[in-house]
Every structure is written in C-alpha cells, then in structure tokens.
Amino acid sequence: MILTDDKRSEPETNYTPTRKNILASFRWLIKGAKSGDSLLLHYSGHGSKVKNLDGTEASGYDQTLVPVDHQKSGHIIDDDVHDVLCRNLKKGVRLTAIFDCCHSESIMDLPFTYNINGNLEIIENDKNQSIATLVAAGTRFLLDGNKKQTKHIFKTEITNLVHSAMGKETASDSAKQKVIDTNQTQADVIMFSGCKDDQTSADTKVNGMASGAMSYALIHTLKKHLRNSNSKGSSSASKNKHLTYTELLREMRRTLEGKYTQVPQLSAGRKLVLDQPFQV
C-alpha cells in the first residue's frame, strides 16, 4: 500500500496521506499478522512535536507525524503510533519501520534506543535507566546547592526530583513508569529514525530524485554491502557475512557525517544483541 500526495502517481496507489488514511494503513499492515511474518513500513514526510499533557514524556513533548490535513484533523502523536502498530502485535512477528522525519527518535515510543556517537561507538539508551539517572543527577544538584545546574531543569521536574529523593511518587513519575513497563513489545519491532527528538531530518537529491537523507544513507549502506558480497573478488566468508546492526548504524553515520548534523537512531521494542545480523 502506498500513500502519497504526488498527483502524478497511478490512480490505484494515490491514497492521500490524511490522518484517517495513515492510521488505517497502519491497521491494514498489521491485520492478521502471525508468527513468522515480516512487515515493512516506510514513512518519509513531516514530523513535529506537541506539548505532552499526561506527564508521560521526560522532555515534556509528544513526537508527532503531520498528515496533509493536520490543520483540520490534528497530528498523530507517538502514543497513537505505538498503540496501533505495536501494542497488539504477536510474538514471532517482525516489524521493521523507517521513519524519516523530524523529531523522530521516539515516534514509536519504543523502550530501547541505539545511536552512534562521534567516536562511532554504540550508545544504548534504556528509557527506564534514563529516568533513574535523571532523578539521581537532579537530586545531587539540589543537595550540592548547584543553582547553575538546577535552574536549567523545569520547575515541575525539580519538584518531582525532590519528591523522589524523599521517597514520594508523583503522578508524573507514575505515568512515565507505566509507559515504560507497558511499551516493551512481544513482537520484534525495530525502527530506524532520521534523527534525535530534538533534531530535524534533512532532504536531499539522489540522481535528481528527492529523498530523505536518512533513507538515502540506509539504502546506500545496504546496496554497498550487497555489491561487496556479490563481487567476484569476494571470499566465500565475506559473501556469507551478514551486516550487523552495529555495522549498519556506523556506515549510515559515516554516510551522513560532514553533510548533515542529524544522527540516525535505531530503536527496539525489546533489547537488541547488536552484533547479530540485521534482517528484515
């Protein structure tokens, strides 16, 4: 199924990417999925963020997809993306999603995130651990009387940190923990996103054709590996060698580095073994 606002497309694929149609296509993708099935989703469009209203986001914002009718029907927030695509997906199903849009790191609200730092080292971010670290660091700043550090933390977060240090749980703490506890998936859900939540994703042109920069980096890396594996001079060992998640992320970062500031992310519904072969 293809949703596009390109008027030159064939009539049978010209489904306009309205809010209703995007959510319907998500449901169409996962409908009837059973163990052993492999699903692929690619979103290349606009992404944004809106103020979080239920206290479930540490940043204070929900990440969003922006449909063509967003002024009338509104954005699609990350909670909805997770609930429709991931919540009821069965064990043994594999969903590989590519979200090439701005502010896309947590658009599927998955609990584990991986990115490559400047030294091309893998950084794993466990949302549960991140919140624990935030509480510990904020409490230390308060106890040390470091006003310069604490003034950069939102007033509500400072209150939450003090309550945490005193053993009190706030409504926001409870909401965040509930999301973390429930967002691990039974299915194998993998997501490539164009950038971090506080970044934008760039557009580029490849052979005169418009493309998202992250989409280009991913496709370029996979094609390069395929060419190398199929070349006549390749050894039998290299021909049988599968690209690991680590190698894929590193090569994508190399492709974008120096041209774009965005850092591509890899997220998962369950903890990944990064030296395992990447597969769709």
Same domain? For 54 and 42 the reply is: yes
> Which residue pairs, CB below 8 angstroms and at least 24 apart, start in 252-255?
252/116, 252/214, 252/217, 252/218, 252/221, 253/116, 253/120, 254/120, 255/216, 255/217, 255/220, 255/221
Same domain? For 86 and 153 the reply is: no
Same domain? For 52 and 31 the reply is: yes
Q: What is the pLDDT of residues 35-55, one digit of tens each?
A: 999 999 999 989 999 988 877
pLDDT band, very low/low/confident/very high, at 149 (cuts 50, 70, 90): very low
CA 181 from chain centre, in angstroms, equals 18
For residue 89, is it within any domain?
yes
The CATH number for 20's domain is: 3.40.50.12660
What is the arithmetic mean of pLDDT over 92-110? 92
For residue 112, is it within any domain?
yes
Same domain? For 42 and 164 the reply is: no
Task: Tell whether the model's pLDDT for residue 15 goes beyond 60.
Answer: yes
For residue 74, is it within any domain?
yes
For residue 73, is it within any domain?
yes
* ∠ CA 51-56-59, rounded to 5°: 55
pLDDT of residue 158: 42
For residue 196, is it within any domain?
yes
Same domain? For 145 and 256 the reply is: no
Same domain? For 122 and 134 the reply is: no
pLDDT of residue 121: 63
pLDDT of residue 136: 41
Range of the domain at 104: 11-127+179-268
Q: What is the pLDDT of residues 154-183, one digit of tens each?
A: 444 444 544 444 455 555 555 555 555 678
Same domain? For 133 and 190 the reply is: no
At which of 178, 211, 246 does a domain end? Answer: 178
Other Cβ atoms closer than 10 A to 25: 17
For residue 278, is it within any domain?
no
At which of 178, 194, 216 does a domain end? Answer: 178
Same domain? For 203 and 77 the reply is: yes
Question: What are the helix (H) ranges across the chain?
Answer: 19-30, 70-73, 78-85, 127-144, 147-150, 155-165, 171-182, 213-230, 236-240, 245-256
pLDDT band, very low/low/confident/very high, at 226 (cuts 50, 70, 90): confident
Same domain? For 142 and 189 the reply is: no
Same domain? For 31 and 121 the reply is: yes
What is the arithmetic mean of pLDDT over 135-161? 44
pLDDT of residue 120: 56
For residue 202, is it within any domain?
yes
For residue 279, is it within any domain?
no
3-state secondary structure (DSSP) of residue 261:
coil
Q: CA-to-CA distance for 269 and 184, rounded, in angstroms?
A: 5
At which of 115, 146, 178 does a domain end? Answer: 178
By annotation, the residues acting in catalysis are: 46, 102
Same domain? For 75 and 51 the reply is: yes
Same domain? For 45 and 82 the reply is: yes
Closest CA relative to residue 195, chosen from 37, 22, 49: 49
Number of folded domains that form the chain: 2
